[in-house]
Amino acid sequence: MRIPAAIRLVHPAPAAAVTALSAILALVIAIQNGAVPVTRVLLVVLSVAGSQIATGALNDWADRHRDRNARPEKPIPASEISPAAALRVAALGIGLQLGGSLPLGALPTTLGLAALASAAAYDLGLSRTPASVIPYLVSFGLLPLWIAAGLGVPLDRVLLAVPLIAPFAAAAHLANTLRDWDADAAGGSRSLSQVLGRQASRRTALVLALGTGLAAGALALWAGRLGVTTAVLGVIGLLAVAQGARSAGALWYGILAAAVLWAAAWALSTG
């Protein structure tokens, strides 16, 4: 197995972004609560990273036949990695997730597996249907609860984040699918982005992502928790999303950057 191909297989940019925002959120919550052992933080991050590896590898394995024509440069159709090896990478990711979550207890393990099952449903078929956004809503909605449970802090510490995540998760889904819009259309995909159309999907993603950032900032201001650092992070995140009006790729990477920035801003503002 070629290591560079295996790295590309797991979709490194979104995997790194989700792992980074989880690490930031876990670290800030742990510092604010004071009594959370560093080992719990590391295990939470490991479990999230494992889920991202599994999700990315399974996605490329499931799409290998379509990618042969639509995305021949991807690792499996380019013969840089075999389908069997891709499944082994996915199994490794699941192993890392369980290795990180099982020592933390039943609740974080269950929440993590539920998030992974939702992502797997996306990989194995829902990504090509109008219900393609649902796994994003479920998996990202569970993420803060999974992190809080893993750290051993009350779930109500992060409950307010869940409704804010829904529109942002929908924006991330639309931005992600816009990058492969033509290839997906040629392959017969009927994802939410295909149903809405390219331009409507881009506008919707921009509105949802910017709206999420503005709503979170307004809530922090109303609660008297909009400090200088929080505000700066929030504004940089808004600018990262706004520059996504240039292209589908710019929107996708802007949303990834905003996710990390806003995770840190939200964690700081709720301490």
* Claim to verify: residue 53 and residue 87 sit in the same structural domain: yes
pLDDT at 187 over 80: no
- Residues 61 and 178: beta-carbon distance below 8 Å: no
- Judge if 16 and 124 occupy the same domain: yes
Q: Which two tokens stand for residue 209?
A: 């992502």
Q: Do 147 and 200 sit in the same domain of this protein?
A: no
Asked if residue 85 and residue 47 are part of one domain, the reply reads yes
Q: In angstroms, rounded to a whole number, what is the distance separating the alpha carbons of residues 217 and 209?
A: 13
Q: How many domains does the chain have?
A: 2
Give the separation between CA 145 and CA 156, rounded to whole angstroms.
Answer: 9
What pTM, to 2 d.p., does this model score?
Answer: 0.89
Residue at a domain's end among 138, 159, 180: 159
Which residues make Cβ contacts (< 8 Å) with residue 132, sequence separation at least 6?
122, 126, 173, 177, 191, 192, 193
Domain shared by 28 and 9, yes or no: yes
Distance between terminal CA atoms of the chain?
44
pLDDT in tens, 221-258: 888 888 898 899 999 999 999 999 998 889 999 998 99
Last residue of a domain, one of 159, 178, 194: 159
| Residues 34, 36: Cα–Cα separation, whole Å | 6
Query: In terms of domains, do 44 and 125 share one?
Result: yes
Q: Are residues 121 and 242 in the same domain?
A: no
Give the CA angle between residues 43, 136, 142 to the nearest 5°: 40
| CATH value at residue 2 | 1.10.357.140
Identify the band that residue 1 occupies on the pLDDT scale cut at 50, 70 and 90.
Answer: low
20 lies in the same domain as 139: yes
Residue 131 shares a structural domain with residue 262: no
Is residue 104 domain-shared with residue 208, that is, in the same domain?
no
Range of the domain at 90: 1-159
* The last residue of a domain, from among 103, 138, 159: 159
